[in-house]
Structure 1
């Protein structure tokens, strides 16, 4: 660049004085003395060969030429500041560490992460899973913890961000073999139970007005994936969270029975560090989670 530039320190002083209209305020803002401000302004006026400020009892007043120059100087300094911030952030690790259960990770979070990464290519989301909903035994530090139901953890905020609506689900093949036209018919069906939610079928049948005179029979599975696969394979009717089963319902692998009768639980929650700064990668990610969860698909 061959074009001469005014002294950069003087330009910064010029911008502050023009904006504040006060030498004392500019000195405090730039952490220099009142005398240093005056010297830099004198240097700039000598450089341009003209007066840039008119002094009065209330402070200083920039001339018309100074105001035109100020608009360009401010825009240029702002662009330099933005470029410097981007360069600084490129040299830093912008990582958000997330812990959740395998079901939520594989059936809800990971399928949506590509949209977040496209919008935020400089933020890396690292997802790890825990076998249970318990958080007391976590040995690592995480920025976000996603669980069914609310939890308390020192240093974290907890908010509900996603519905938890469950309903009976079966494969088309099973429904061809097993006559199910009303909720009471489920008492004769092969019910698939989930060990972590043993009361789900009783709650749903009670809500549907089906009297229960004996303990429900059926296979018990210790993991959501196993009960889901059993339902897809035509082994019976499972009780599943609809928010985690969009693909299976859209592709016709599973069919929701009696859509007007559902179980509504307290919902999925996220715990996130309470110290998240405005505009930080953590806040950007939690805002995105909340947005994704606020798009309910089921009643």
Structure 2
């Protein structure tokens, strides 16, 4: 089975580019080939006009890599960890300490890496990838397994990294993450890129339903179906009464006339809808 099959894309300088897809889509393999950690069976890869394979020492100072699984030296503190990484690139200890400030870990400098929370460990991993001031940063599912608050905090850090002028290539299986952070995304599944472009452009190009939900019990299912137009879908799971419609305005007006707007939520198309449209199946996180 091919992990990656004919993947082609370009990333512009200063861009925040996302490779988006479920687990097993081929995202990590693609990233490892680009980073020079794995040899491709065929095809070519260029970073700053140079090939990363065989391992290219000229590229190492210009790229930073945060792997999917972080591994730190045992019994070293956060400060000792990042200073060790800095020494590999000839970066001064003072600059390493400043990077702890950048990622919000200054107060954890004396804490052993194994005592850091999941979000703090990810921040330290990213700090180690940035400590030598690379122009291009690869981040492989940096928010995987983090709680919602830690994810959002890390998003702010990633935005700041990009605003500093660094090019960021991110893999993720979180649709909302890619939609929030990335200038462009490549949607990938089964080793192939299905579609690429700006998230908003991909969503706008999808002829999708608008999803409207209200509290269950405000209308009976029979009444709701009577309000629905041609092509509308109506379901009631006992918690929410949900409409999927290509024409939300008349339906919303009808609900308002019946004072049935309790718990109203309106959702347009998202990247997840784009994925479902492209693959014809439910998204697998």
Which TM-score tier does this pair reach, normalised by the shorter chain? under 0.3
Greater C-alpha radius of gyration = 1
TM-score, normalised via structure 1 length? 0.23
TM-score, normalised via structure 2 length? 0.24
